[in-house]
A and B are shown apart, each in its own frame.
Chain A
Amino acid sequence: MSKGTIMAAVTIAPDYITGDLPIVIARDEDEREKLARHLANVLQSTVHDLGNGTYLIVQH
């Protein structure tokens, strides 16, 4: 079975995320949505909502 890889994070709550991955900071929820969609398309990945203001872009 394949494992997921975290490709990037898109967030409106930059205080609550850290780590060794591309973190994209969005101005508001709409922009987060748009950025996440772009990134997911480019990286051929899915978007997962952590629920704390951060979207993770994960390749499965």
Chain B
Amino acid sequence: MLDSKFRRGDCMEKYLLVAVSGILAGFLTRIALLRVDYRQYPGYPHGFVTHLSMGFIAASLGAIAVPALLKPDYAAFTFLALAAQQFREIRSMERQTLESLEESELVQRGKDYIEGIARTFEARNYLVMATAFVTSLITQFLGLLPGIAGGIVLVLISLLFKSGDTIGDICEVVPAKLNFKDTILHVDHINIMSVGLKDSRKKILHEGLGVILKPKNDDARATIHDIGQRLAIAHTAATILGTKKDIDMPEFTPMLRKDPDTGQVGFYIVPNEPDIKALIEAVKQAPVLESAATRPLKSRAGRYASD
């Protein structure tokens, strides 16, 4: 009698340890993935709180799944499906927030970028859940120390997921000269837009900057031709360098246009900081959007066409 009671207590403690190690690893993953960078998103303390608490819930669910499986309490395990439903909500929450902010952005992110951010936030919660689950599993079967070690490794692996490709990975970014042919603004040879006012033309020539994005292969070419991707590049650069655009001066809107023949893309901006090095860096670190990334070279037809 006493023996069985003692064993049950022991058991509880063991599960507690398993659950806590999983929750801790999962929560740490969420914290590591939640970093404020130039995008200033989520730059608001309340956004932080929301995401950290959702991360905590995700970690708890993942960690507690292991004792539920071993108990065995399969009904509890199916609650994971319910959780997935909840995390889908995160995605629409993020989308709504960003879309409502979009109206008052001078240089808009674009729908593709917003969708990408929303998807990332959802996916990160699944990542947290998986980390917590696997850490708990290791702690359960191999003990606490391997559990801690496994947790650390998993957090590091999750960090690999954090950063996707950037424009610098798929394109060469080279400085280019702004010039006018009649009233049409060009970045080197790429047609950007027509500017009617002489004053505006003078200001653009004087203070504007231009770069050309040279795609490294046909995949990259298809990617930077995506309109959403181009908006994302313009938004990134305008966030970092600032822009002289205002609502009554739309001709200073940063713009990317492609050269239909070579596939190069010309980028024009009138920044607050006219520093070409900064501009090149900013463009290079713009994210490649998941929705824009295409791989025509992975298909046979695409490879024939690239010859």
Contact = CB atoms under 8 A, between A and B. Distances in A.
A36 B197 contact: yes
Given A44-B248, A44-B250, A49 B227 contact: no
Nearest to B246: A44
Contacts of A51: 182-183
A46 B199 contact: no
A45 B250 contact: yes
Interface string B189-220: 00001111111100000000000000000000
> Which of B194, B197, B250 has the most A CB atoms < 10 Å from its CB?
B197
Interface of B is mostly: mixed
Interface string A25-58: 0000000010011001110111111010001100
Interface residues of A, number: 17
> Which of A1, A33, A40, A41 has the most B CB atoms < 10 Å from its CB?
A40
Interface residues of B, number: 16
A47 B248 contact: no
Contacts of A56: 196
A55 B197 CA distance: 9
Contacts of B182: 49, 51
A48 B247 contact: no
Interface of B: 182-183, 193-200, 227, 247-251
20 contacts: A1-B227, A33-B197, A33-B198, A33-B199, A36-B196, A37-B199, A40-B197, A44-B248, A46-B195, A46-B251, A47-B195, A47-B196, A47-B200, A47-B251, A48-B196, A49-B194, A49-B195, A49-B196, A55-B196, A56-B196
Interface of A: 1, 33, 36-37, 40-42, 44-49, 51, 55-56, 60
